[in-house]
């Protein structure tokens, strides 16, 4: 038989503020301070079990939990969207454990936890962007041994990465890496920018916001302080290029944002929409209309509200 | 128990005070040379600046050996730190994760502290330097990560050779110690990534 106990009014919560205990937070905070002092270097840390599976953003959550306080406003995005499962769950998690004030507006947020995108609206000084990183080691696919990659970073031996990019060019005529495109931070460490599209790489360079990276499963934390050089690796004759699209966003008409391709029927029709949901909504509210933006009132799906 | 033997209280609200202190430290080290204030709601033990005491309360514990100058180590500051943080106080500067030094004392030099090693540069020491003031001294120009262009600072009450030591420390990059200058409730970060130029 299951006994249900109703907790009394004065019962203390079952866990500490922001879920992690103070000892763990201190450990993560010390790692973060060292990460900031050596931009792009991956600091090992004692990643904890979190109440969700590894690979669901446990690294980012632990970093956010270590930095969040009562005066923060938290925004969580997953592939640019505020309303996807992962983003909603993580937002709820911090609402419950840290009484966090949450927001979907990029400008209002002081902490932005992200999976796979940097918001389109430019980040400001004083904001912190926390990346969830599945694979913090950019060299891992080239060299599986941790002992070796550690030495390669120690001695700045990054020839292997250049060879990989060169082989891409030799075989395909261009670098085919489109996300998690390796960057050189502060002229010293080759770093994985987390699986953001290479479209977002230029936003990291000299960003006024502090960028923190947490990899829970791989137990690594790294950081890029504001106003730090972040250079996407390339060659003089094959300079780094970002993706471009032939048409603008179908909903808001934006020509400068990262677009997702959405298949809309079984005859091959498709539309391109902004991956950053808040950016797209803001533009539509400002009156920008994309070619495929339907009017719900005209189609009779909803009744028009009379003022 | 006489009043002399009483250990002064630490944080009244450890969770939020250490979070606020950490954010000030994070800002100080990610934007080197900017003055950050911490909530000075504690009475630091004798010989310790409030900012130093708050930084240690927020970050130090049984995993982090701390080096203090002899006078502090044997005085109420040592007792206070042992009681509140459970730290080990070490006599050898090279063993410390955190160190508190007097800005005017000639010894130990920054080179005495652990700069980390090439495979683990994060294992270096963080040195809290207690100065007479964070403004009003001879100016130096900073550049590097966290600084758009250059930034001028002019801390006071530091030994003459400290800037040369810091230049040497920065030359070790990515190894080297990270400094936080502390005075009153103000702190100013100088991580190893910051390049320093003395005004000629």
Which of A239-251 are b and which e, b meaning 16 or more Cβ less than 10 Å from the residue's Cβ? ebeeeeeeebbbb
Taking CB atoms and an 8 Å cutoff, what residues of chain B touch A221? Answer: none
Residue written as tokens 């969830």?
Answer: A132
Taking CB atoms and an 8 Å cutoff, what residues of chain A touch B23? Answer: 67, 69
Q: Reply yes or no on whether the pLDDT at A20 is more than 80.
A: yes
For residue A207, give both structure tokens.
């960003």
Distance (Å, whole) CA A24 – CA A66: 8
Q: Reply yes or no on whether the pLDDT at A55 is more than 90.
A: no
Distance (Å, whole) CA A156 – CA A212: 22
Domain B11-198 bears CATH identifier 3.50.50.60: no
| Contact assignment for B178 to A223 by CB distance below 8 Å | no
Q: How far is A55 from chain B (nearest CA, A)?
A: 25
In three-state secondary structure terms, B156 is strand
| Contact assignment for A16 to B124 by CB distance below 8 Å | no
Q: Which CATH superfamily is domain A22-145+177-232 in?
A: Bacterial phosphonate metabolism protein PhnH (3.40.50.11310)
Distance (Å, whole) CA A265 – CA A272: 13
pLDDT of residue B1: 47
| Contact assignment for B64 to A30 by CB distance below 8 Å | yes
| Contact assignment for A67 to B26 by CB distance below 8 Å | yes
Domain residue limits, chain A = 22-145+177-232, 244-288
Place A10 in a pLDDT band, splitting at 50, 70 and 90: low
Place A1 in a pLDDT band, splitting at 50, 70 and 90: very low
Domain residue limits, chain B = 11-198
Report which of A105, A120, A78, A123 is spatially closest to residue A258, judged by C-alpha positions. Answer: A120
Beta partners for residue A212, in sequence order: A130, A223
Q: What is the mean pLDDT of residues A55-80?
A: 95
Which residues lie below 8 Å from residue A293, measured CB to CB, with a gap of 6+?
A250, A251, A252, A284
Checking ipTM against 0.90, whether it exceeds it is yes
* Residue A156 forms contact with B (CB below 8 Å): no
Q: How far is A91 from chain B (nearest CA, A)?
A: 20
For residue B138, give both structure tokens.
């001879």
Residue written as tokens 């090279």?
Answer: B94
* Top mean-pLDDT range of A82-86, A149-153, A174-178: A149-153
Pairing mode of beta strands A183-185, A111-115: unpaired
| Contact assignment for B118 to A154 by CB distance below 8 Å | yes
Distance (Å, whole) CA A256 – CA A80: 15
In three-state secondary structure terms, A270 is strand
Q: What percent of chain A is modeled with pLDDT above 90?
A: 86
Averages of pLDDT over runs of 10 residues in chain B (200 residues) are 72 93 97 90 92 96 96 95 96 97 93 96 96 88 96 92 94 96 95 88
**Closest chain A CA to residue B22:** A29
Pairing mode of beta strands B98-102, B126-130: parallel
Report which of A29, A17, A102 is spatially closest to residue A63, judged by C-alpha positions. Answer: A29
- Spatial strand order of the sheet with B98-102 comes to B35-37, B186-190, B178-183, B126-130, B98-102, B66-67, B89-90
Give the A window 65-94 contacts with B, CB below 8 Å: 66-70
Q: Reply yes or no on whether the pLDDT at A304 is more than 70.
A: no
* Residue B86 forms contact with A (CB below 8 Å): no
pLDDT of residue A25: 97
Longest dimension (CA), chain A: 72
pLDDT tens digit string along A110-164?
Answer: 999 999 999 999 999 999 999 999 999 999 999 999 999 999 999 999 999 999 9
Place A7 in a pLDDT band, splitting at 50, 70 and 90: low
Which residues lie below 8 Å from residue A189, measured CB to CB, with a gap of 6+?
A38, A39, A40, A41, A153, A156, B174
- Strand positions, DSSP E, chain A: 43-44, 73-78, 101-102, 111-115, 128-132, 183-185, 189-191, 210-215, 220-224, 230-232, 259-263, 270-274
Distance (Å, whole) CA A77 – CA A102: 11
Residue B124 vs residues A33, A69, B78, B119, B182: alpha-carbon distances, Å: 11, 28, 22, 11, 19
Give the B window 37-56 contacts with A, CB below 8 Å: none
Active site residues of A: 40, 249, 252, 274, 280
pLDDT of residue B190: 96
* Residue B20 forms contact with A (CB below 8 Å): yes
């Amino acid at each position: 038989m299951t006994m249900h106990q109703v907790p009394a009014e004065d019962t203390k919560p079952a866990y500490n503020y922001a879920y992690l205990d103070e000892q763990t937070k201190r450990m993560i905070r010390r790692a973060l301070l060292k990460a900031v002092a050596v931009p792009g270097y991956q600091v090992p840390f004692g990643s904890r079990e979190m109440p969700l599976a590894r690979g669901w953003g446990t690294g980012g959550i632990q970093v956010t939990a270590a930095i969040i306080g009562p005066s923060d406003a938290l925004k969580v995005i997953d592939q640019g969207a505020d309303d996807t499962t992962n983003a909603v769950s993580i937002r709820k998690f911090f609402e419950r454990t840290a009484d966090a004030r949450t927001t979907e507006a990029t400008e209002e947020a002081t902490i932005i936890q992200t999976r796979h995108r940097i918001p389109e609206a430019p980040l400001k000084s004083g904001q912190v962007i926390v990346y969830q990183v599945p694979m913090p080691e950019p060299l891992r696919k080239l060299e599986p041994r941790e002992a070796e990659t550690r030495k390669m970073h120690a001695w700045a031996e990054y020839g292997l990465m250049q060879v990989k990019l060169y082989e891409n060019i030799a075989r395909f005529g261009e670098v085919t890496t489109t996300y998690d495109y390796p960057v050189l931070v502060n002229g010293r460490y080759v770093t994985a920018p987390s699986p953001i599209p290479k479209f977002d790489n230029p936003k990291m360079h000299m960003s006024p916001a502090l960028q923190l990276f947490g990899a829970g499963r791989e137990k690594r934390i790294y950081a890029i302080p504001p106003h730090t050089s972040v250079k996407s690796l390339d060659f003089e004759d094959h300079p780094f290029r970002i993706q471009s699209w032939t048409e603008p966003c179908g909903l808001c008409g934006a020509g400068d944002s990262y677009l997702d391709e959405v298949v809309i029927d079984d005859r091959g029709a498709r539309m391109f929409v902004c991956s950053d949901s808040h950016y797209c909504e803001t533009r539509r509210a400002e009156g920008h209309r994309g070619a495929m933006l339907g009017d719900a009132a005209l189609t009779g799906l909803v009744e028009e509200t009379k003022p | 128990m006489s009043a002399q033997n009483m250990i002064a209280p630490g944080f009244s609200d450890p969770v939020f005070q250490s979070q606020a202190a950490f954010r000030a430290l994070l800002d100080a080290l990610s934007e080197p040379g900017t003055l950050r204030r911490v909530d000075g709601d504690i009475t630091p033990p004798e010989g310790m600046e409030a900012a130093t005491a708050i930084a240690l309360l927020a970050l130090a514990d049984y995993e982090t050996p701390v080096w203090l100058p002899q006078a502090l180590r044997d005085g109420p500051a040592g007792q206070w730190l042992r009681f509140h943080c459970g730290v080990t106080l070490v006599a050898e500067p090279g063993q410390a994760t955190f160190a508190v030094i007097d800005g005017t004392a000639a010894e130990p030099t920054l080179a005495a502290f652990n700069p980390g090693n090439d495979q683990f540069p994060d294992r270096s020491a963080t040195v809290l330097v207690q100065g007479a003031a964070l403004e009003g001294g001879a100016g130096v120009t900073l550049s590097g990560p966290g600084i758009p262009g250059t930034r001028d600072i002019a801390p006071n009450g530091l030994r003459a050779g400290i800037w040369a030591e810091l230049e040497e420390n920065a030359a070790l990059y990515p190894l080297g110690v990270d400094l936080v200058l502390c005075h009153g409730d103000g702190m100013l970060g100088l991580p190893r990534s910051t390049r320093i130029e003395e005004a000629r």
